[in-house]
């Protein structure tokens, strides 16, 4: 009996292969965060901000199928094109804005493993001036782009174990995005404003994974995200200064869908914390 069990175990060892995950990891914000329905200030006023936020963590990829211990065949990459996943994640980023004329701001930003975004925010009423109390409303639009050549040691790749198993793999990742939104708000006093931000975002991701032996695989797709968040911003202006520090928290829900599949994730918590400085 012991001899039989030993032969079975040896046979399994000779023929088995270990599959290990190899994914291209892209962060899609769960919502559009850190925005306000007010303009930044007079023409030439600007703001800078940093934020931490929750994301839809999009993974496109497959697995590295290692050769068995006694096999002479080379390791291979198994690409799972039709198995994208969207999972909760966390990321960090920054942004900036510039008031070009009254009621119109240029806004932009960059998140880790995400696109560079730039766009315009237009305030709809006189009360959107940042020093006016009352009802506020603004619309905004953003476009985004990013392309990078990645290796298995870069952040775009995620895997279960050590990176040294995938040193023969590289990828070209290209992302485009479009976003449109509406922000409604109300300023109570000089220091605080509450707001509601509705947004729709569309992302197009294309990637080519290249293997050292010359093989290549195309991955990608389109993701849409619909979100609504409730935000609260508190400002602190030092005495006799023309700038103010601010803190903003946004909380709500975002729902993403990977086009071309039946996969749509459940509504996900959208949460962001932002710190910034604004001039007048």
Q: Which helix (H) or strand (E) holds 55?
A: strand 46-65
Going residue by residue through the chain, which has 280 residues, state the pLDDT in tens, using 9 for 90 and above.
444 444 444 444 444 444 444 567 788 899 999 999 998 888 889 999 999 999 988 877 654 444 333 334 444 445 455 567 788 889 999 999 999 988 899 999 998 878 999 999 999 877 777 667 889 999 999 999 998 776 655 544 444 444 444 456 777 888 999 999 999 999 988 899 999 999 999 999 888 877 766 677 777 788 899 999 999 999 998 888 888 999 999 999 998 888 765 555 678 899 999 999 998 7
Query: What separation in angstroms does the CA of 109 have from each of 32, 63, 97, 128, 255?
Result: 11, 33, 9, 22, 22
CA distances from 126 to 4, 38, 104, 232 (A): 86, 10, 12, 21
At residue 245, the 3 state secondary structure works out as strand
The structural domains of the chain, with segments of one domain joined by +, span 22-279
Decide: 123 and 131 in contact? Cβ < 8 Å: no
Contact 250, 230 (CB under 8 A): yes
State residue 109's pLDDT score: 94
Is the Cα dihedral 47, 53, 56, 58 positive or negative? positive
Question: What is the pTM assigned to this prediction?
Answer: 0.79
Token pair listed for 194: 């509450």
Burial 68-80 (b: 16+ CB within 10 A, else e): eeeeeeebebebb
pLDDT on residue 205? 87
- The hierarchical CATH code for the domain 22-279 is 2.40.128
Q: Is the dihedral of CA 257, 263, 267, 269 positive or negative?
A: negative
- What pLDDT score does 230 carry? 97
User: CB-based burial of residue 106 (10 Å sphere; 0-12 exposed, 13-18 middle, 19+ buried)?
Assistant: middle
């Amino acid at each position: 009996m012991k001899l039989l069990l030993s032969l079975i175990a040896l046979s399994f060892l000779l023929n088995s292969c270990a599959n290990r995950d190899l994914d291209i990891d892209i962060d899609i914000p769960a919502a559009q965060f850190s925005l306000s329905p007010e303009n930044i200030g007079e023409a030439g006023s600007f703001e800078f901000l940093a934020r931490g936020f929750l994301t839809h963590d999009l993974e496109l990829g497959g697995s590295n199928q290692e050769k068995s211990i006694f096999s002479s065949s080379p390791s291979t990459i198994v690409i799972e094109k039709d198995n994208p996943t969207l999972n909760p994640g966390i990321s960090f980023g920054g942004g900036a804005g510039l008031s070009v004329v009254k009621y119109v701001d240029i806004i932009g930003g960059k998140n880790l493993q995400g696109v560079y975004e730039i766009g315009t925010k237009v305030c709809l009423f006189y009360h959107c001036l940042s020093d006016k109390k009352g009802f506020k409303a603004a619309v905004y639009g953003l476009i985004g782009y990013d392309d990078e050549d990645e290796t298995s040691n870069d952040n775009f790749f995620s895997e279960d174990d050590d990176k040294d198993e995938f040193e023969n793999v590289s990828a070209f990742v290209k992302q485009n995005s479009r976003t449109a939104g509406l922000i409604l708000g109300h300023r109570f006093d000089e220091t605080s404003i509450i707001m509601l931000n509705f947004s729709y975002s569309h992302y197009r991701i294309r990637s080519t994974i290249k293997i050292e032996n010359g093989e290549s695989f195309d991955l990608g797709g389109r993701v849409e995200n619909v979100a609504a968040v409730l935000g609260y911003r508190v400002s602190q202006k030092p005495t006799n200064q023309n700038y103010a520090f601010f803190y903003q928290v946004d909380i709500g829900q975002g729902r993403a869908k990977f086009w071309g599949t039946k996969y749509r994730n459940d509504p996900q918590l959208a949460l962001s914390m932002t710190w910034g400085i604004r001039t007048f």
